[in-house]
Structure 1
Amino acid sequence: MATTAQGRTPVHLWIVGILALIWNGIGCYDYVMTRMRDTHYFESMMPGTDPNEVLAYIDSFPVWAQSGWAFGVWGGLIGSILLLMRSRYAVWAFVLSLIGAVLGLGYQIANPGGPAAMHEGAGAVMPYIIIAIAAFLAWYSWNAQKKGVLR
């Protein structure tokens, strides 16, 4: 039996929505700490890396890549909230988030300068994981809207 917008919220929507809210909340925290230029944050995230080198690298990004990052994280957070509210606008927010992630992280992937910690180990694969999760959330919300779960 298919769940409609008038029926109960499917359990998987709550699971995906809450996990998406946590995930995108972490992204927003990272964005805010970076914009506040919190060197202690970078020291804890990348021990042994000069925080000022990381900030200089991020500052060197063109405005479109930095804007993409902002749209990516804030669009994801708004999309997560809208998904939990079962709003059809979650689809648009997640699509905006995906476009932002591709722009911001795509620049980072294509221009591997800056601190080694951002391009080795977890730093090397994280941009791809972020883009994959953004794509999944856009697909998931679109599919939920198509099935009538979102209003």
Structure 2
Amino acid sequence: MSQPTLKTPWHVWVVGGLSLLWNAFGCYDFSMTATNNAAYLEPYPQELRDYWLNMPVWVWAIWAIGVFGSLLGSIALLLRRKFAYPLFAASFLAALISMGRSLTDKDAPTMEGQMMMSLVILAIIALLALYARWLSHRDVLR
């Protein structure tokens, strides 16, 4: 006999949709920075732009894992797939490494509110990971 299909709770669509928008912006930010988009980067001080564009390749790779991992996690969440949790967990770890590196780099320029924004991003990713794990345990994700 086949397993009965659980109806998708309404909150999956709300959380999944909002997280998709949030994480799509993270990917957009990464893409605009990586391609050195002049119009996008214009509001930032030159010192900060120079720092970003001269980061080691491994830092770019970790940043990419963070933002694109979360985007894929949001898509997996909307598709009700259990691999949403490992994607969000990998994204959290990548963000933690990336942000930790920039916060401990004595040569890194700082911006007002940088620490607070980093904490907000980490909190959102952690909550999304925990949410996906909770849904997995409730057999909402397959």
Distance in 1 (CA, whole Å) between partners of 2:77 and 2:85 is: 8
Match of 2:92 in 1: 98
Aligned residues of 1:144 and 1:150 also touching (Cα < 8 A): yes
Match of 2:24 in 1: 25
Match of 1:83 in 2: 77
Query: Which of 129, 134, 140 pairs up with 1:143?
Result: 134
Distance in 2 (CA, whole Å) between partners of 1:71 and 1:5 is: 35
Match of 2:62 in 1: 68
5+ residue gaps, structure 1, are none
Tell me the TM-score normalized by structure 2: 0.89
Distance in 2 (CA, whole Å) between partners of 1:103 and 1:66 is: 11
Match of 1:110 in 2: 104
Q: What displacement does 1:129 show?
A: 0.8
What is the number of residues matched between the two proteins? 140
Change in CA separation of 1:41 and 1:112 when aligned onto 2, cut-off 3 Å: farther
Q: What displacement does 1:61 show?
A: 3.4
Residues 28-57 of structure 1, C-alpha deviation per residue, up to 9 Å, x if partnerless?
00000011101210224x3xx22xx22321
Change in CA separation of 1:14 and 1:133 when aligned onto 2, cut-off 3 Å: same
Q: What displacement does 1:76 show?
A: 0.3
Asked if 1:130 corresponds to 2:121, the answer is yes
Q: Secondary structure at the match of 2:42?
A: helix
Q: Secondary structure at the match of 1:87?
A: coil
Aligned residues of 2:66 and 2:90 also touching (Cα < 8 A): yes
Change in CA separation of 1:37 and 1:73 when aligned onto 2, cut-off 3 Å: same
Aligned residues of 2:34 and 2:53 also touching (Cα < 8 A): no
Q: Which has the higher contact order (CA 8 A, sep 6+)?
A: 1
Aligned residues of 1:64 and 1:104 also touching (Cα < 8 A): no
